[in-house]
Structure formats: C-alpha cells, structure tokens
Structure 1
C-alpha cells in the first residue's frame, strides 16, 4: 500500500525529532543554597565532546571570570568565597558547528549569613603561592559585642589570631598576619580575616567565635596545595623535568590529577587517590624532553566528581635552556660572568686606541726636520731686496716715509742665511732649497 504525502511528512518529522533528541542532550536543571563565604563548584557533562566543540559555563549571557576547566567531556567552574553577587543562574552551553545548545541550568542561592554551627565544617582549598589569597568571612544575623578568629594548625593547638570588642580597636595576636582586606574596626554583624599570600603552612582549622568558644559561629578548614618543577640531574646532563603536586592534609579521600593544558582543555598526565594512610601526600610526574610542549600544566584536586582546586604551573623550557628555580640561578651566574668579560674586553680595546693615538701625536711633534716639506726661495729677489735696504739707509734723512716703509718690510720678512754669493743677472735665476721644522715655527 503506497504511503500518502501526509504519512511521509509525519515519518520524516519523527525521524528528525529523534535525531535531534539524540544529538542535543536534554536540559538539566538544579538549584542549591549555600552559605556566604564558601567555595562552590559546578559541573556539567555531555556524552561526547569533539575537539572542535566547546563546553563552557556562562552567567546572564556572559562568560564567567572564575576558574574553569574542560576535562573528560565535562565543564567545571569554581566560585570562590561566594556572596550576594554570585547569586543567580548559571548556564552550561555546548557550542558545536556554529550551533549553541544549553546543557544545564544551575540556580544558585547565597544565604545572608555564614553560620554553620553544630560542629559543621566548610572545607576549602587554596594554592600556596605569592598570588593566592583567601577571605574568611563571619557574617551573622544578630549583633554581637565581641568577635574572635582562632587557628588550629594541629589538634589541641588553638591560637587566637585577631579579636575585637565593642568600642575597641582590632587586636592582632596570632602568628598569621591579617591581610589588607581584614576587618580593622568593630562591626556588630561581620568580621573578616584575610590571608595574603597563602603559605603552605597556613593550612588548618579556622573558627569564628562570637560568645561561646565551644560553639563557634563559623568553622572553616583550609587545605593548601603547592606545585613545583625541578631537573633531577642538573641543567646540562638531563633535559627531563619532574612535576610535583602536594596537598597539606587529607581527612577524606581525594584524587590528585596532573593535567597538560591545551587552552582550558585538560589532557590527563597522571592521577592518584590520596587517603590519610598515604605517607606522602604528593603526586609526581616525570616528563621527558619530547613531553615538555605545551608548557602549561595544572594540578587538579577532586573529591569524587567535584573539582575543588586548580594549581597551575608553567614550565619555561626551550631547546637550549630549562628555567626552574635552581637552574635559573646557575644560568644568571654564567650570564653575568659573560657580560663582565665582554665589558672588560671593550674597555681594553678603547684604552689601547687612546694610547696609540697619543703615541702618534707625540711622534709627529718630534719628527725629523729633514722630512719637512721643502721651501723654494728666489735668491735674486733676496739680493735685490738687500740692495734696496742699503740705499734706503743712505737716504733715510731725505726720505723718512720711505725709511719707515722699508724698516717695516725689513722686520716682516723672514731672516735666512745667505748660502750662495753668485752674482745675479737678469737672465739667470737660482733656486735654493731650505728646510724648515714646521713644528718649531708654529706659535
């Protein structure tokens, strides 16, 4: 029985709708309310993600400025120390072949206070570096007359950090100095302790205490991670490097992952599950020379499927040098020695040129008179001038003006020694060569 046009159209629509449903994953929605001051990690996943497609989080049509990672067909985002500004809807969008598909919508609500009493603990992770910081926020509904932040690095080692009472100034007490964003005046409803930079030894349990030391208003456990790179056999003998990622403490099971970054997409390098039983809470990966490009790596901390922290590191390598902490010092030492040698050589060349110039100048002053240029003088003219002077001396009484003229010419002319007494005639001209030392004649 032949199909009618309407039936064919219905089948085609059904086929394309099923194909679109397979190609476009359904939209997942979620909502969550969190305490002010905590870290929030969001994740969305697709079944397959090609290299040409991207999966990213957006908020209100704009890309977020927080930490993002694309790994294992999933897009992650970490919101640090959330407050009212982080509240709203977050969209995970898949962009492929010019088509945009929304995969997940997550609505986030942030409470007006940070109370997590009843011995609840909020755990956050921070990288230990000069550019890392953390703000511990204690925000209450009620008003309190006194505040205090304490730190417990190890069990039963609680230490006061800062404290304030109504009508007094903030007192700094503990070993960790408060950062610039810490509270400096009394406020009855908020008290902030800012740490900047975060050191590896800054890990521990921080408590905000309002009135009862046994019932803190806010308890935050800070875990620090640090990454490093080194050459196992020095600069010249081996071109491999070792990356190390270390976590300060583990209370529950977590996983450390080394990722080689290609943009914001992570490629697995090595991973390991860490527990309290591990002797060393660190993960190392040995990179040979052909694995050092690209140069951007990140150590990721996961608890189950939740991304808790990222610690980036850049390996400054080239075909001729490796720049880690130790090799950099050696390279700078050799570079400074080379520059110093070049400067000394240039100074020696300039000094030699100056001495040679002064030597040539001195030799030109004391040169041999016989090497001076010859001067040709007409001897007949000299004799004629002598006769004219004799006549002028005889008649100076009768012609005083002429005498003065001849006398001036006499002293203007150069005195020379007569070397030839041959009588001059009108047809004969005799030339003599007389040598002068120019340097002695100059004044």
Structure 2
C-alpha cells in the first residue's frame, strides 16, 4: 500500500509540474478577451475606450474592423511608451480626425456613424497579446430633429443601427409600450416606423431599442409633437385598397364655424367636387347619399366646434382623388389621396412550382417616387424589383414574375419610396400548396410504366433472336464465299462481300 501511495504521489507531482509548462507554451491567443459592447448616437456624443493601465508592455496597436463593410481590419495607430509619456503614430489608412488619443493608450471615438465597428487593443512588445476588445454600435435617427407634425398627416421615422446580429432585434415603442403603427426591418440595419393619420394619441415619446431576447441593450428616444396652431394646408396620403384599410380626414380651423363640408373630386376629373358630408353648428352631420362613399363614411366622435373629421373604411381603389374641406364657404384645406392595389396571377389557388406574377398599381403619380416589390427574408425585407415613376410618364404599375413559386415565397410587400423614405407599405402573403397526385392518376402512371417495360423486354427478346439467326446465316454464307474464292482464284472484291452481308440480314 505505501508503495502504491508513493507512485501515485509521484504521478501527481509530475502532472502538477506539467501544468505550468503547458500554460507557458500556450499562445497568447488562447486567452480570449471578452468583448465589451459600447453605444453612441450619431452626431450627439462619442465614446471613450478605456484599456487596462498595467500590462507590462511598451508598445501597442489599435485595430479596427468597421461595421460598414467597405474594408476589412485596418490599423488605426501604434502607441509607444517613452520615458515620460505615450506617443501615437496614426496610420494613413483611416481618417485620424475621427479619433483622438487619450491617456494610457485610451482612445476617444467621435460620434460619426461610420466609426462604428470592432476595436482591438493589442500589445506587440515585449510579447503579442490582446488586452481589450470593444464592439462599438452607432445609432442614427432620420430625420435627426423631429419637427412638430400636423394632425391627420402620415409620418415615417427611421432608426438605423450600424450592425444588428442574428441574435438581436430592433423594436419601436411608444411611451414604453408596443406601438400599433407599422414597422418593418429593411436591409438588416434599418427599421422604419410608419404612423398613419397622426392625432393626439400619437404624440409622445418613441424609442428605438436594440435588444437580445427580452433584454434591452440600448435605446434611443425622440418625441412626436403636434402643431398647436391650426392653419390651411395641403398634404398627400397613400392608402392600400384592402378590406382592413382606412383613411381619416381631419379639418381643424382657427375659429368656430357656422357651416363646414367635405367634398371630393376624382383624379383627372374636370367636373366640380361632389359633397360627401356637411355639418352646421349645433346640428348633427349629414352624410350625402349620392356618392360612392355611402355606407363607408362616418363622422368621427370627440371633435370640437373648430374641427370636422371623417372616417372612411374600407378604402377602395376608386377613392383616389382630392378631398376639400370648406368652412363657411371658403376652402380651408385639401388632401390628395393616392391608392394602391395588388393583384396575383393566377388569381386562384397557387401550386408550388408554377409561375406567378405580382402586380402593384398606383392610382396616380403627382410627384416622382420609386415603386418597389420587397421580399421578406424573416429578419429583414429586401428590394427584389423597383422602378421610378414620374408625373410625365405613363407607367403606373410594377410587375414581378416568380418563375417557380415555392413555400418560402410567402411574404412580400409593395412599397412607395420617396428618396429612401417609405410613404406606403402594402404587405402581401402568398399561399402555395404542394402538388398532390390522385390515386387514380398514380395507378394510371404505374400501369403505363409496366406496359412500357413489358414492351421493351419483348422487343429486346425478338431482336436478340433475330440477331442469332442472322449470325448463323452469316457464318454459312462466309463459308460459301470462301469456297467460291478458292474456286475462282480469289477474284471476289470487298464490296461484293459487304453487299452479300447486307442481303443476308435482309433475307433472314
């Protein structure tokens, strides 16, 4: 027993001595450094990257892999410890005005969106090892300043983050609660928020949050405020022609009115506007029964004597046109409504593998914009096809052909972009079913296949039998030819021999 104990102790001591030797020969890269996430807002406030003060080194390097993807890893600067202070040598590969040297090798990053990326602080003397890593994320709002907005208008806000990993998602919230407004991700890093018919309930704080699972990593806030002074105005709204679509028409006046009315004129029409609804002070509103809006229009509740608002639902493609609000026989404001509709061919049920055409049509083009088809890739939507439409052009639709529709070709959207800002977003969901072969059809296919195989087998058998007889005839004829050649002094030509062979096959 003591002997065994001694042997075990020796082995233990040998292993313990070996552990530091193994650690001694491990490369510096084996000791990974945890990445620290840092965030800043474009044009607002930069960030300071703080590195370990005591590293025992004398020379270091700052490296950067930008989020924008236009270049790979680049060296920003080399930092050297002298007798009294640190010296910085900036490289020519970067814009050094975007970065500032700090104490003890620290670096300050200015609030420029393109500066986002992965930053590495690496010691290169006396030995090479990574001391710190920072993932710097940049947030950007568009527009940067949110001006007060008019009641009834549509508003689009844009939140762009320099990088969004697969484990992350971006979400807009209104006063810390999920918003009912339309939001969708575009090109992975950009998320749009589209609010239709802004009203008092729409005002407040909006946050764009980067989160993983249910944890918010960072949020950026801004506020939507309403214009306090009502004034005559004109604006344009886009609406889809669908069962769930709606449009609200707000007419807010500076003073109380005696009479007010809403009227409508179709696009391109030279005829006078037709009255939709009217109201007289202290009297209930009257809805005109002589327009195609009958049954779909109603006065909105909760309005004052200085406002007259209508609710139209659902919106049809023929509703496109100009709406006028006249107060006391004077035009106070107007709203242009442009409608969109989508169609799918074939219009019936879709089957996997067949060709499908998606067409998006707008009612009118008053100003230049891009009409686009977007495909949903799960985490983001990307443009599949787009075309610029102009008032002077004749094109008002865009068709996208899917040569062979599959089950993953389900979510699409038609969108109107002015510049890079979406003004309209019309989602479309396709349902393509797998092909199902009926039992009767399958039985017919099996029977036809068996008949074909039996026919081929019979044909092969007959051909082999025919060839066997032909070979027997050929051997007999060759024997006769050899005998004739001997008798005739070998005077028969090759041509005659081949003629005889062909005749043998014909006669067999």
Whole-angstrom CA distance in 2 between matches of 1:212 and 1:180: 22
Whole-angstrom CA distance in 2 between matches of 1:38 and 1:112: 14
The aligned counterpart of 2:281 is 166
Cα offsets for 1:270-312 (capped at 9, x unmatched): 1111112332311111112255514111111111122111111
1:230, distance to aligned residue in structure 2 (A)? 1.3
- Verify: 1:67 aligned to 2:160, yes or no: no
Whole-angstrom CA distance in 2 between matches of 1:64 and 1:237: 36
Query: Per the alignment, do residues 236 and 186 of structure 1 end up closer, same or farther by CA in structure 2, a change over 3 Å counting?
Result: closer
- Verify: 1:37 aligned to 2:130, yes or no: no
Aligned runs of 1:126-141 on 2, under 5 Å? 126-141=239-254
Whole-angstrom CA distance in 2 between matches of 1:136 and 1:111: 16
The aligned counterpart of 1:283 is 398
1:6, distance to aligned residue in structure 2 (A)? 11
Root mean square deviation of aligned Cα: 3.5
Unaligned runs of 5+ in 1: 322-333, 335-443
Query: Per the alignment, do residues 51 and 75 of structure 1 end up closer, same or farther by CA in structure 2, a change over 3 Å counting?
Result: same
Structure showing greater Rg: 1
Cα offsets for 1:8-63 (capped at 9, x unmatched): 89435338999498722156552210111111110122344444432332233333
Whole-angstrom CA distance in 1 between matches of 2:343 and 2:276: 30
Query: Per the alignment, do residues 52 and 233 of structure 1 end up closer, same or farther by CA in structure 2, a change over 3 Å counting?
Result: same
Q: Choose between structure 1 and 2 for higher RCO, CA contacts under 8 A separated by at least 6 residues.
A: 1
Whole-angstrom CA distance in 1 between matches of 2:139 and 2:84: 29
The aligned counterpart of 1:266 is 381
- Verify: 1:247 aligned to 2:340, yes or no: no
Cα offsets for 1:395-440 (capped at 9, x unmatched): xxxxxxxxxxxxxxxxxxxxxxxxxxxxxxxxxxxxxxxxxxxxxx
The aligned counterpart of 1:125 is 238
Q: Look up the SS of the partner of 1:25 in the other structure.
A: strand
Contact preservation (8 Å) 1:300, 1:311: yes
The aligned counterpart of 1:148 is 261
Query: Per the alignment, do residues 294 and 194 of structure 1 end up closer, same or farther by CA in structure 2, a change over 3 Å counting?
Result: same
Unaligned runs of 5+ in 2: 1-56, 59-80, 87-101, 120-132, 439-508
1:219, distance to aligned residue in structure 2 (A)? 1.2
Query: Per the alignment, do residues 59 and 166 of structure 1 end up closer, same or farther by CA in structure 2, a change over 3 Å counting?
Result: closer
Moved more, 197-206 or 183-192: 183-192
Whole-angstrom CA distance in 2 between matches of 1:205 and 1:221: 4
The aligned counterpart of 1:204 is 321
Contact preservation (8 Å) 2:303, 2:309: no
Aligned runs of 1:18-417 on 2, under 5 Å? 19=119, 23-25=136-138, 29-72=144-187, 73-95=189-211, 100-102=217-219, 104-112=220-228, 115=231, 117=232, 120-153=233-266, 154-157=268-271, 158-173=273-288, 174-175=290-291, 176-177=293-294, 179=296, 181-183=298-300, 188-213=305-330, 216-231=331-346, 239-263=354-378, 265-320=380-435
The aligned counterpart of 2:17 is none
Q: Look up the SS of the partner of 2:278 in the other structure.
A: strand
Q: Give the length in aligned residue pairs.
A: 316
Contact preservation (8 Å) 1:298, 1:311: yes
Contact preservation (8 Å) 1:258, 1:269: yes
Contact preservation (8 Å) 1:33, 1:110: yes
Moved more, 221-230 or 173-182: 173-182
Q: Look up the SS of the partner of 1:33 in the other structure.
A: coil
Whole-angstrom CA distance in 2 between matches of 1:167 and 1:51: 58
Query: Per the alignment, do residues 57 and 187 of structure 1 end up closer, same or farther by CA in structure 2, a change over 3 Å counting?
Result: closer
Q: Look up the SS of the partner of 2:251 in the other structure.
A: strand
1:69, distance to aligned residue in structure 2 (A)? 1.3
Contact preservation (8 Å) 1:256, 1:274: yes
Whole-angstrom CA distance in 1 between matches of 2:352 and 2:210: 47
Query: Per the alignment, do residues 251 and 15 of structure 1 end up closer, same or farther by CA in structure 2, a change over 3 Å counting?
Result: closer
1:250, distance to aligned residue in structure 2 (A)? 0.7
Name the TM-score, length of structure 2 as normaliser.
0.55
Cα offsets for 1:148-195 (capped at 9, x unmatched): 001011343311111122354433324122646425899522212211
